Amino acid sequence: MLEMTREAFEELVADALDTIPPELTRIMDNVAVFVEDEPPAEDPELLGLYEGTPLTERGEWYAGVLPDRISIYMGPTLRMCEDPDEVVHEVAVTVVHEIAHHFGIDDERLHELGWG
């Protein structure tokens, strides 16, 4: 397993977020991104998780709710990657994948687009 400090991994996530086009980040709404050490025990190889209500499903009822949550998991990412460059790539793919869920894009479509 590769070793990386939490701070360095968080910086990779921040760098990946910085690559999202401004026209998309402007319309992201009520979403927070977190780095977690490990995913839920029932899915130990999960690299990221979006929890919330996608923008495409929000209606007039959507008010006063807690922010959507995007979690990027450090442990499984470092275990699956063989070198630091692969970590950079995998973090970028995972961040884009989870943000796409915020925009209502499902896993099937993401796989078709190469972001699976």
Confidence of residue 1 (pLDDT cuts 50, 70, 90): confident
96-108 pLDDT, tens digit each: 999 999 999 999 9
Are residues 111 and 26 in contact, defined by beta-carbon separation less than 8 angstroms?
no
Classified as helix, coil or strand, 20 is coil
55-87 pLDDT, tens digit each: 999 998 998 999 999 999 999 999 999 999 999
Alpha-carbon torsion 55, 61, 63, 67, what sign? negative
- Give dist(CA 12, CA 75) in Å, integer: 14
How many CB atoms are closer than 10 A to CB 46? 17
